[in-house]
Each structure stands twice: as structure tokens, then as C-alpha cells.
């Protein structure tokens, strides 16, 4: 019988990583010098999440999808993705700027890598004063103009840099040039893909004095050169309501800011549900199953769990994600 699932965190040290994963989220990354990313729910080959609670403890995500199929992830999702879980959930701590990069869409990723593309979203959990990020271009661009600025070392002149504060949301469809700036702690929800084309890395070197590989040519066919008037997602935060942040073919994400018991009824939704706790604490209750959620926790609810309560006495803020047909 399925129940709400938690998974063991996968920790990633990065050249640009910091200490907020431990200091802010309370996650111990052991002897790593820093932690740039945690992978909280992953079906990526070589980084498949392992259950850490209940009767399925020790089994990995692919194994339980093979075992339970549509009962876990939803009928249409299982038909489309098989045992490949379609979303990847991360926390990212940028102690320094990440590289300027872009991700391919499904068509290009399938052609080149036999993989899904990477559309993603960021929710800013915490931002140091003066923090910023890059999302898209600040003017209409094309391949030739991009190369002119890139080859002259002026690429950042045509990129859109945004000042950022806590609770800001950015949707980044595949093809959008971007980077997370230093001082940001972010929850990331994305397609299951680990394909990144690194365009510029600020000439950084690793502990051995080596620069990371760039993918300048590969990026050219992946980039969306269009200018968009808005890159930050607008939303009105409301207590004890489901607030829509992002809806796209790959995922829907809502925000729940709760200070009292909240009843959920997603009858008719043929999808798993993911809850990411970004503030406070509370408890999920589904029939006889209960599971606690604290800051930094991520829980996967099976597709069959459609009616349940979230209880809190001190307040809890959650990101809720699923896939709509």
C-alpha cells in the first residue's frame, strides 16, 4: 500500500556552492567543503532518489514506479514516461555566480542526447541584500547579434539582470539564457534532465587550476534570442489559498501559505503531487497515514491520494507541484 514518501537527500558540492544548505535549511552535508545543490527527488540516471521512510525504505524511485506504476505517478504520466520520473526537485545555494548557461528543449535534447529538455522554475527562498540573477535578454537579439557581443566579451551587456528578493519566482522555459547570482537560496522545479550548455564561466578555475568546459557552439541552436517584457512571474500571495505560480506542459506549481488546517481535494487529477516545505512546519494527514514536514523537507504523494489535510499550528509555506493532463 502506498503512502506519502520522503527520500534521502543527494548532496552536490560545487565550485560556487556555500553553507546555506546546512545553516538555513538544516541539512548536514558532512565532509563536503560546500554544498551548491541538493537533489531532493530525482529520477536522473546515476542519481536516483532512495526512499527513507516506511515500508518502502531503501527502494529507489525507479523500482517503486516499476512496482506501482500508475497508482504512484498517474495513468497518463506512466503511459508517457514509463519508469522515468518526469520532474527533478532541487535546492540551490549560490555562494558565487553560477555560469551563464542555457538548456535545450525536448526536440534538441532528444536529437543530441536521447534525453528530455529542461524547462524549469525558481522560487527564491532567501536572498542576500543586493542579490541578482540573469534571465533572458534585455533587447531583441538574433544569432548574429549574440555572437557579436559574445565574441567581443560584452555578452552581459545584452542580458537581462534582475534584482531579487525572497519569494520572487522566475519561470525559465528551455532556451532561455540564465544564471543564478551570488547570495541566493533557491528551490528549483524542473524537467528530469541534467543537460546544461555552459556559455561563460567568468574564467573560474577549480582546485587543480582547470577551467570548466564551455559549450559555446552547442548553445547556439538552443538559445531563444527573443526579448520578453517580463521575466519575473507575478502573483498575489494569499493566506490559506492555493496560489498559482507557474503552469506549463511539464508541471504546475502552486504556493500554499497556511496558518490553519487546509483540506485538499484534487479528485480527478491523475498525477502524483510533490510538496516542498520552504517555511515553517506541519503535518500531512491522509486517512491513517501521517507525515511531518519541516523546512527543507520534500514529500511525494501518490496519484491515488486525492483528499488529505495539511495541519499546522505555527504556520507552513509549501510549493505544490503536479502534472496536468
Between CA 84 and CA 260 the distance in angstroms is 36
C-alpha torsion sign, points 188, 286, 280, 61: negative
pLDDT at 216: 95
Give me the residue label for grid cell 522545479: 189
pLDDT at 144: 97
Residue 214 lies in a domain: yes
Query: Do 178 and 120 meet the contact criterion of CB atoms below 8 Å apart?
Result: no
pLDDT of 64 > 90? The answer is yes
pLDDT of 207 > 80? The answer is no
pLDDT of 206 > 90? The answer is no
Residues 190 and 113 occupy one common structural domain: yes
Query: Do 38 and 21 meet the contact criterion of CB atoms below 8 Å apart?
Result: yes
pLDDT of 183 > 80? The answer is yes
Residue 228 lies in a domain: no
Domain count, the chain: 2
pLDDT at 288: 82
pLDDT of 219 > 80? The answer is yes
Q: How do beta strands 87-94 and 262-265 pair? A: unpaired
Cα 179 to Cα 134, 137, 140, distances in angstroms: 5, 12, 19
Q: Which region, left, alpha or beta, applies to residue 136 given φ > 0 means left and ψ of -120 to 50 means alpha?
A: left
Residue 3 lies in a domain: no
Residues 55 and 203 occupy one common structural domain: yes
Residues 215 and 253 occupy one common structural domain: no
Higher pLDDT, 257 or 206: 257
Cα dihedral value 103, 269, 258, 133, nearest 10: 10
Residues 135 and 209 occupy one common structural domain: yes
Query: Do 294 and 267 meet the contact criterion of CB atoms below 8 Å apart?
Result: no
Across the range 259-284, mean pLDDT stands at 96
pLDDT at 215: 96
Given 164, 188, 220, the domain boundary residue is: 220
Residue 231 lies in a domain: no
Copy the grid coordinates of residue 68.
Answer: 506501482
Residue 225 lies in a domain: no
Candidates 256, 267, 253, 251; CA nearest to 306 is 267
pLDDT of 209 > 90? The answer is no
Copy the grid coordinates of residue 50.
Answer: 532512495
Model pTM score? 0.96
For residue 148, the surrounding DSSP H or E stretch is: helix 143-151
Residues 204 and 263 occupy one common structural domain: no
For residue 39, the surrounding DSSP H or E stretch is: strand 37-41
Query: Which CATH number is 275's domain given?
Result: 2.60.120.10
pLDDT of 190 > 90? The answer is yes
Residues 38 and 175 occupy one common structural domain: yes
Q: How confident is the model at residue 65 (pLDDT cuts 50, 70, 90)?
A: very high
Q: C-alpha 93: how far from its chain's center?
A: 12
Q: Which of 143, 198, 204, 212 is catalytic?
A: 198
pLDDT of 325 > 80? The answer is no
Q: In the 8-state DSSP scheme, what is residue 155? A: G
- For 82-117, the pLDDT digits (tens) are 999 999 999 999 999 999 999 999 999 999 999 999
pLDDT at 1: 84
Residues 31 and 170 occupy one common structural domain: yes
Q: How confident is the model at residue 208 (pLDDT cuts 50, 70, 90)?
A: confident
Residue 237 lies in a domain: no
Q: Residue 134's domain spans which residues?
A: 10-220
- Cα-based angle 136, 125, 46 (whole degrees, multiple of 5): 75
Residues 98 and 176 occupy one common structural domain: yes
Between CA 254 and CA 222 the distance in angstroms is 28
Residues 211 and 261 occupy one common structural domain: no
Whether 285 is catalytic is no
Residues 130 and 62 occupy one common structural domain: yes
Q: In the 8-state DSSP scheme, what is residue 320? A: E
Q: Edge-to-edge strands of the sheet including 159-163?
A: 159-163, 132-137, 178-180, 100-102, 197-200
For the chain, the farthest-separated pair of C-alpha atoms sits apart, in whole angstroms, at: 63
Q: How do beta strands 298-301 and 273-286 pair? A: antiparallel
Residues 272 and 197 occupy one common structural domain: no
Residue 301 lies in a domain: yes
Given 220, 252, 273, the domain boundary residue is: 220
pLDDT at 204: 83
Query: Do 296 and 290 meet the contact criterion of CB atoms below 8 Å apart?
Result: no
Q: Supply the DSSP string of 49-110, one letter for each residue.
A: -BB-SGGGTT-BHHHHHHHHTHHHH-HHHHHHHTTS--EEEEEEEESSPPPEEE---HHHHH
Residues 250 and 118 occupy one common structural domain: no
Residue 144 lies in a domain: yes
Candidates 31, 2, 1, 162; CA nearest to 11 is 31
Amino acid at each position: 500500500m502506498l503512502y506519502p514518501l520522503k527520500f534521502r537527500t543527494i548532496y552536490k558540492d560545487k565550485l560556487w556552492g556555500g553553507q546555506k544548505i546546512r545553516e538555513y535549511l538544516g541539512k548536514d552535508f558532512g565532509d563536503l567543503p560546500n554544498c551548491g545543490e541538493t537533489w531532493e527527488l530525482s529520477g536522473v540516471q546515476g542519481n536516483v532518489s532512495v526512499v527513507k521512510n516506511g515500508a518502502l525504505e531503501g527502494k529507489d524511485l525507479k523500482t517503486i514506479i516499476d512496482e506501482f506504476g500508475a497508482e504512484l505517478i498517474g495513468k497518463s504520466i506512466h503511459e508517457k514516461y514509463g519508469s522515468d520520473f518526469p520532474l527533478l526537485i532541487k535546492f540551490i545555494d549560490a555562494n558565487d555566480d553560477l555560469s551563464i548557461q542555457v538548456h535545450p528543449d525536448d526536440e534538441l535534447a532528444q536529437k543530441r542526447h536521447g534525453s528530455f529538455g529542461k524547462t524549469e522554475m525558481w522560487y527564491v527562498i532567501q536572498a542576500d541584500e543586493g542579490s541578482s540573477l540573469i534571465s533572458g535578454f534585455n533587447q531583441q537579439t538574433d544569432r548574429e547579434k549574440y555572437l557579436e557581443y559574445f565574441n567581443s566579451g560584452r555578452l552581459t551587456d545584452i542580458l537581462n539582470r534582475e534584482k531579487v528578493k525572497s519569494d520572487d519566482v522566475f519561470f525559465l522555459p528551455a532556451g532561455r539564457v540564465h544564471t543564478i547570482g551570488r547570495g541566493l537560496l533557491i528551490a528549483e522545479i524542473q524537467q528530469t534532465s541534467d543537460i546544461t550548455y555552459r556559455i561563460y564561466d567568468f574564467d573560474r578555475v577549480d582546485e587543480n587550476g582547470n577551467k570548466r568546459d564551455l559549450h559555446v557552439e552547442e548553445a547556439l541552436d538552443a538559445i531563444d534570442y527573443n526579448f520578453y517584457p517580463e521575466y519575473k512571474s507575478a502573483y498575489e500571495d494569499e493566506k490559506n489559498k492555493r496560489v498559482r505560480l507557474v503552469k506549463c506542459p511539464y508541471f504546475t506549481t502552486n504556493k500554499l501559505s497556511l496558518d490553519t488546517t487546509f483540506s485538499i481535494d484534487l479528485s480527478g487529477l491523475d498525477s502524483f503531487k510533490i510538496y516542498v516545505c520552504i517555511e515553517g512546519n506541519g503535518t500531512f494527514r491522509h486517512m491513517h497515514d501521517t507525515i511531518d514536514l519541516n523546512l527543507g523537507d520534500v514529500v511525494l504523494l501518490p496519484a491515488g491520494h486525492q483528499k488529505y489535510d495539511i495541519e499546522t499550528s505555527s504556520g507552513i509555506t509549501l510549493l505544490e507541484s503536479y502534472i496536468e493532463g
